Structure 1
Amino acid sequence: MEQKLPLPPFNFETATQKVQLAEDAWNSKDPERVALAYTVDSEWRNRSQFINGRAEIVKFLTAKWQKELDYKLKKELWAFTDNKIAVRFEYEYHDASGQWYRAYGNENWDFNEHGLMQRRFASINDVLINEEDRRLQ
């Protein structure tokens, strides 16, 4: 059976490690790498989109990073229980015209016993920023 360490039940150290691993994977901008952290039948809500399974995750992330250029993400642990983690995050990117954005949000994660995320629910808001106002580089 596939496993993704650390495994639940989480404590502060392992929840923090899981968040850092997710941040590192997303900052790689490699959809295949990111998708391996999720169950094959994973359920997502990302803004108003509903995404199911690794194939849809890869398709979604591929399109995302074709539009969100020079993407840089920072995640922070918000809370955790046995197999759940909540994070707050912000990321910055620019579009093809050069307009910069900062996106803020929260995610709720639910893991199976093998450490794979089976559910991810994200609420995200974008704010226009000037390039000189970037915080994440």
Structure 2
Amino acid sequence: MAALETPYAQEPECAPLPPFNPDSAAQKVRLAEDAWNSRDPERVVGVYTDDTQWRNRAEFPQGRDAVQAFLQRKWARELEYRLIKELWACDGHRLAVRFAYEWRDDSGQWYRSYGNENWEFTDEGLMRRRFASINDLPIQADARLFFWPLGRRPDEHPGLSELGL
């Protein structure tokens, strides 16, 4: 089955399609942020190719099933996860994205994780490659900046640049 015929390519998160310009790239990044903030591994993997290649810290999942298992483990460990992504650069089928997210572990320790991602897309808007570099900073609960109900970040909540991150 061709990638365009998969049910995943019909998902709203697959649009807009490459080649990207700054506006369509920013829209793509916000849709990805929204999906990740759902903490629904099945929803998130829907925008990746069957043979997607990832690099995430010390893990290198390949394929949609491996990515889904990775996300299930991630969100079982990273509680109260809230993420903000921001477009850094775009060029055709590739985007550079920076992000920060806050979460706590099961002992109550809060973290802010900072990172950069490089994304590559197919013509159908599915992500073929995701390479992430991430650093975790332990923070006190009173240092948190991401306050909204779990799920999609409200449009009025500041982004990374507005927060000085």
TM-score by length of 1: 0.98
- Residue 98 (structure 2) pairs with residue 51 (structure 1): no
CA distance in 1, matches of 2:57, 2:78: 15
- Residue 139 (structure 2) pairs with residue 124 (structure 1): no
Q: Stretches of 4+ moved more than 4 A in 1? A: none
Q: 1:76 pairs with 74, 81, 86, which one? A: 86
Deviation at 1:48, TM superposition (A): 1.5
The corresponding residue for 2:22 is 12
More strand, by proportion: 1
The corresponding residue for 2:160 is none
CA distance in 2, matches of 1:49, 1:80: 25
> In the TM superposition, what whole-angstrom CA distance separates every residue of 1:99-122 from its partner, at most 9, and x where no partner exists?
000000100000011000000000
Deviation at 1:72, TM superposition (A): 0.3
CA distance in 2, matches of 1:73, 1:53: 23
CA RMSD across the alignment: 0.6
Q: Give the SS at the match of 1:72.
A: strand
Deviation at 1:35, TM superposition (A): 0.2
- Residue 61 (structure 2) pairs with residue 63 (structure 1): no
Query: Given residue 114 of structure 2, which amino acid in structure 1 is its aligned partner?
Result: Y
* Structure 1 residues not aligned, in runs of 5+: none
> In the TM superposition, what whole-angstrom CA distance separates every residue of 1:87-134 from its partner, at most 9, and x where no partner exists?
000000000000000000100000011000000000000000001100
Q: Give the SS at the match of 1:49.
A: coil
Q: Give the SS at the match of 1:115.
A: coil
TM-score by length of 2: 0.82
- Residue 111 (structure 2) pairs with residue 101 (structure 1): yes
Q: 1:37 pairs with 34, 43, 47, which one? A: 47
CA distance in 2, matches of 1:97, 1:90: 21
Q: 1:28 pairs with 10, 13, 38, which one? A: 38
Question: Number of matched residues?
Answer: 137
* Structure 2 residues not aligned, in runs of 5+: 148-165
Q: Give the SS at the match of 1:52.
A: coil
